A and B are shown apart, each in its own frame.
Chain A
Amino acid sequence: MQFFFEVLIGGLLAGVMYSLVALGFVLIYKASGVFNFAQGAMVFLAALTFVGLQEKFGLPLWGAFPLTLGVMVLLGIGIERVVLRPLVNQPQITLFMATIGLAFFLEGVAQLVWGTEVRRLDLGLQDEPIESVMERFNLLISKFDLVAALVAGLLVAVLAVFFNKTRIGRALRAVADDHQAALAVGIPLKQIWAIVWSVAGFVALVAGLLWGARNGVQFALTFVALKALPVLILGGFESVLGAIVGGLIIGASEKLAEVYLPSLMSDFLLKHYDISINLAGIEGWFAYMLALVFLLVRPEGLFGERHIDRV
């Protein structure tokens, strides 16, 4: 039982890490209807810029952070101006492809500027088990993951306040609801988009720092986006809450499945069909399958908006 809880808690905490990345997707999709595949590249760019600045100018953490944030904001504004504005009113798939092009572009630029070397990102926080819990319950909980979960919680709280209590936030929600109507009541759509992309850049920076501290800052950071996609379909593309809840569900079930399912399936095959096969490693697709099955029941995701088609 202790092992089960360990896996469950580990999974939930890992899920929070997925949610962090998924948040960026949700923000952009909500406000501009763009499925931004470049979010992974933005995470990579943010983390790389951060360590690059640290390395080059010997900046401390609190010095590099605002500078990198500045870069991400500029990037958001730039993307709105150069990519989104000319593509207004194009079909979603065209915008999606444009963001894949953008991903290539950002990956290339990031490495052109900072090089391809793998770098370590030190947040002054070791990924170690919390000893007191370890001693008392023999339960493994990572210090790092716990802090990451707190950061994610804080981020969601800040975003919630931003969306619900500020003028810009209200404008954002109006835009998300109906572009045309928002324009009609005088909300500057272009500005709003630039802001949303900047906020997504900020989220990418936070995600990049945490993921980078875990795995090192390297190209593989772009792959964290793939972990966020099932979270998105499960939680719904438009829901911040969905990103968090979806992340928790995906994280926990993915880890539990990886630990328990393959051996069950292997035993079953061996017993009934006399086939000996090691089926471990289902994590790569399990989350997608889970999301797929879930969608069959609720096609708009957990917290997504239901669209009604009219002829």
Chain B
Amino acid sequence: MAWKKTVAAAVAAIACIAGSPGAIAQQAGTQFIGITGYRVGPYGANGAAFFGGFVDYLQLINQRDGGINGIKLSGEECETEYNNAKGVECYERLKTKSATGPTAIHPMSTGITYAIIDKAPTDKIPLITFGYGRTDATDGRVFPWVFPIMSNYWDAATGIVKFIATKEGGDANLKGKKIVLLYHDSAYGKEPHAVLEAEAKKLGFELKMIPVPHPGNEQQSQWLQIRQYKPDWVINWGWGVMSATALQTAQKVGFPREKMVGNWWAGSEVDTEAAGPAANGYYAASLNLGGKGYPVVQDIEKIVYGKAKVGSNPKLIGTVLWNRGVAAAMFTVEAVRKAQEKYGKKPVTGEQVRWGLENLNIDAGRLKAMGFNTMLPPIKVSCQDHGGSGQVRFQQWVGNEWKSASDWMKGDSALVRKMIEDSAARYAAEKNIKPECMGG
């Protein structure tokens, strides 16, 4: 009899999926936001923090402001497991859930970004890749639908070099210094190679690149090589368990953590807390500051967690990745707000949100008004520059929290810009795209 049950279950499954797109009617008149998130798997801890903050901010907009100009937000999260194929399925599912589409997608995975990057223009859905994804997409003339908002990997790499230079007392002092890039051996880890090599040539430091095979839970041989090489600085281009292990192993071989700089995916509580005291003194680039000292974070704590009791996880409030999720959600919300200015106070479509993103201008005053204060730098997006800032800020782990260790700073933006345009032009040639601004 058991197989009958199985067949029945299969039939039910098919019936359910068939009826699913649109099965739960989105409340009419809301701005539907589709979320491709992940909370399980090797990066589940990172995803849980990021998407926790993301959803919490959307809740705040609903609970505190009653939506964006009176248009309530609704949303749905689909689990991608950080898996490209599942990401595509989620994207396809979410895009049909509402008449106005999923607003804008934050894939939160470079792999998924690549998998849907060609679909976005046909579906007219903007992608926001906040600190990951395709770097050359910063050129909005070739990639009108992709927004690597704020800063990209090459900004991070040159920013880190800049930071090291300031610690050494100026660019000139980098000459003859030895820097190791310890990177996750994957597409993500390969991103900074070209730009760092260019920097090494320009500034005259010695660069050694040491890969760590996925997942990076064993780094004995890498760190023994580092010990042998005796570098002045180590750049940690890690993700997931790799960063905590790098810190632990650095302690094991006696390499000072004050001489290690991570990028922004290797610089959150997830990475340092697991390493315990071994993480003390470690620097990391960041897209946003952590901590609870911002009115917006306090509002979320008070309203979303306190009054409405719909918060995702109180333990995560104020962590670096959670704050990043809040910031990411803010970009979506502000793009919608901008689009509403032009297209009227109603749920806006992907095309309209794209216009909103391209004309996004969040200055210091606006940041303060929204309660973000110094958590983010001012951002002004344009067609040429889909990033809008290119700045990074450095934080240092002091045993129990991330402390700001620098002001907002820019790396070698001229070099980055040139490389972006070269790479984008190559892509345009390969794909027969005529680079031009899309306009409204």
Contact = CB atoms under 8 A, between A and B. Distances in A.
Q: Is A–B contact present in the complex under a CB 8 A cutoff? A: yes
Interface of A: 3, 6-7, 10-11, 14, 17, 107-108, 111, 115-120, 122, 126-129, 134, 140, 142, 144-145, 211, 214-221, 223-224, 227, 254-255, 258-259, 278, 280-285
User: Which residue, A118, A129, A285, has most C-beta atoms of chain B within 10 A?
Assistant: A118
Those 6 A-B pairs whose CB atoms lie nearest each other, nearest first:
A216-B274, A284-B213, A281-B211, A220-B241, A258-B221, A281-B185
B224 A118 contact: no
Contacts of B248: 127, 214-215
A170 B212 CA distance: 44
Contact of A283 (B213, B224, B277): B213
Nearest to A279: B211
A129 B221 CA distance: 15
A215 B224 contact: no
Contacts of A216: 241, 244, 273-275
Contacts of A224: 217
Given A140-B254, A218-B45, A254 B274 contact: no
Given A129-B253, A219-B42, A283 B221 contact: yes
Given A140-B224, A218-B244, A255-B220, 5 more contacts: A3-B228, A117-B270, A220-B217, A223-B241, A280-B209
A216 B209 CA distance: 25
A215 B241 contact: yes
Contacts of B370: none
Contacts of B240: 218, 220
A91 B342 CA distance: 66
> Could you say which of B214, B218, B245 has the most chain A C-beta atoms within 10 Å of its C-beta?
B218
Secondary structure class of chain B's binding surface, majority of residues: helix
A129 B224 contact: no
Nearest to B223: A10
18 contacts: A10-B221, A11-B221, A108-B40, A117-B315, A118-B244, A119-B274, A126-B278, A128-B251, A129-B253, A140-B254, A145-B252, A215-B244, A216-B241, A216-B244, A218-B45, A220-B241, A223-B215, A224-B217
A288 to B, nearest CB: 12
B222 to A, nearest CB: 8
A3 B224 contact: yes
A216 B238 CA distance: 15
A116 B221 contact: no
A52 to B, nearest CB: 13
B224 A255 contact: yes
Given A126-B277, A223-B215, A280-B211, A7 B221 contact: yes
A43 to B, nearest CB: 11
B273 A118 contact: yes
Interface in B203-249: 209-215, 217-218, 220-222, 224-225, 227-228, 240-241, 244-245, 248-249
Contact of B45 (A117, A134, A211, A215): A117
Of A3, A107, A115, A117, the most chain B CB neighbours within 10 A belong to A117
A295 to B, nearest CB: 22
A265 to B, nearest CB: 14
B44 A219 contact: yes
A284 B22 CA distance: 44
B48 interface: yes
B220 A111 contact: no
A281 B240 CA distance: 17
Contact of A127 (B213, B222, B278): B278
Given A10-B224, A258-B221, A142 B274 contact: no
Contacts of B275: 120, 216
Nearest to B186: A281
Contacts of B269: 118
A11 B209 contact: no
B252 A127 contact: yes
Interface of B: 39-42, 44-45, 48, 185, 209-215, 217-218, 220-222, 224-225, 227-228, 240-241, 244-245, 248-249, 251-254, 269-271, 273-278, 313, 315-316
A105 B248 CA distance: 30
A215 B274 contact: yes
Contacts of A227: 217-218
A281 B210 CA distance: 8
B112 to A, nearest CB: 19
B225 A218 contact: no
A218 B268 CA distance: 15
Contacts of B39: 116
Contacts of A211: 217
B217 A111 contact: no
A97 B241 CA distance: 27
Contacts of B42: 218-220, 223
Nearest to A131: B254
Q: Which of B42, B209, B252 lies at the interface centre, i.e. has the most chain A CB atoms within 10 A of its CB?
A: B252
A282 B212 CA distance: 9
Nearest to A280: B211
Nearest to B224: A7
Contacts of A115: 313
Contacts of B316: 117
Given A117-B315, A220-B241, A6 B224 contact: yes
B212 A219 contact: no
B215 A220 contact: yes
A212 to B, nearest CB: 9
B274 A120 contact: yes
Contacts of B220: 10-11, 14, 255
A280 B277 CA distance: 30
Contacts of B221: 7, 10-11, 254-255, 258-259, 283
Nearest to B41: A219
A264 to B, nearest CB: 14
B224 A259 contact: yes
Residue of A128, A140, A214, A227 with highest tally of chain B CB at under 10 A:
A214
A218 B241 contact: yes
A15 B221 CA distance: 12
A9 to B, nearest CB: 10
A131 B100 CA distance: 65
Nearest to A262: B211
Contacts of A255: 220-221, 224
B354 to A, nearest CB: 33
A255 B220 CA distance: 7
A128 B252 contact: yes
Nearest to B193: A278
A140 B251 CA distance: 12
A298 B313 CA distance: 53
Contacts of B276: 120, 122
B185 A284 contact: yes
B45 A118 contact: yes
A3 B253 CA distance: 12
